[in-house]
Amino acid sequence: MASKVRLYVDHPLGEGQSVPLSRDQAHYLFGVMRLGEGTVLSLINSRDGEWDAEIVKAGNKGGILTCQAQTRPLQTPPDLWLVFAPIRKERTAFIVEKAVEMGAARIIPVQTDYTQGANRIRQDKLQAHAVEAAEQCGGTFVPPVDDLQKLDRILADWPADRQLMFCDEAKIGDPIGLPDLRGPWAILIGPEGGFSPTEREKLHALPYSHPVSLGPRILRADTAAVAALTVWQQALGDWG
């Protein structure tokens, strides 16, 4: 039997709750997936877990679903942000997709000194990738993807209690060096050109910043993001 279609909706979910569909959602369910009235699918909304919902009205420009029963509770990831310098479009999309699968709670693209082509970043497209990734990986939570911000700006507003796993290519070959500190964290990944000397100096001086090595080889930024998420989740996250 084909697995149930999963759909993210920005609407409350609960027993007997009616959920209206947008034109795009109706097109996807009825046009692309060829589902009809009476079909049951899974809904998520980042707040109420996963619900079975039946299609009660299918139209060209919209439709209505009715929630039946909760099939999974909400599972939120650990309080981990992924802060990364965007790279080429499809590789940036890959980073967002993998961050959702690996369990990041917030995704923040940042402009660093050596970030290239950041003006081509579309927050709405990246958020749509995050939604799609959660729908496909069985997640019940979609992390928000922020608009691009300058690294200086985000560091200026940094919450005092949040540790920073600064993935520093200059630490190549050192032991990983992730301290066993519990609580909120963020991972920082640089662009293909790495961090500038000024940025590195600043990042080393911050009390909450922990320079970390990702092994004896230079990883591409997209690989580094997945590797850092793996290292953090295994040591301090919800994989244990």
Binding-site ranges for ligand SAM (CB under 6 A) = 167-169, 171-172, 189-190, 192-195, 213-215, 217-221, 224
CB 151 within 8 A of CB 173: no
Question: What amino acid occupies position 61?
Answer: K
Rounded least distance, CB 30 to ligand SAM, Å: 43
Residue 45 or 112: the one with the smaller Cβ distance to ligand SAM is 112
Nearer to ligand SAM, 121 or 128 (CB): 121
Q: Where are the alpha helices (DSSP H) in the chain?
A: 23-26, 89-102, 123-137, 151-156, 197-205, 221-236
For residue 76, report the phi and psi dihedrals to the nearest 5 degrees.
Answer: -90, 145
Rama region for 194: left / alpha / beta (φ>0; ψ in -120 to 50; rest): left
Block residue for tokens 């959920």: 19
Give the nearest distance from C-beta 180 to ligand SAM in angstroms.
Answer: 19
Q: Which is nearer to ligand SAM, 171 or 202 (CB)?
A: 171
User: Whose Cβ is closer to ligand SAM: residue 61's or residue 217's?
Assistant: 217
Q: Which amino acid is present at 55? A: I
**Closest distance to ligand SAM from the beta carbon of 13 (Å):** 38
DSSP lists the bridge partners of residue 149 as 110
Contacts of 89 (CB under 8 A, 6+ apart): 120
CB of 123 to ligand SAM, least distance (A): 22
What is the DSSP-derived secondary structure letter of residue 181?
-
Integer Cα distance of 190 and 92 in angstroms:
12
Measured from the CB atom, the residue of 56 and 170 that comes closer to ligand SAM is 170
- To ligand SAM, the closest distance from the beta carbon of 100 in angstroms equals 19
Residue nearest to ligand SAM (CB): 190
Closest approach of ligand SAM to the CB of residue 211, in Å: 8
- Choose between 38 and 175: whose C-beta lies nearer to ligand SAM: 175
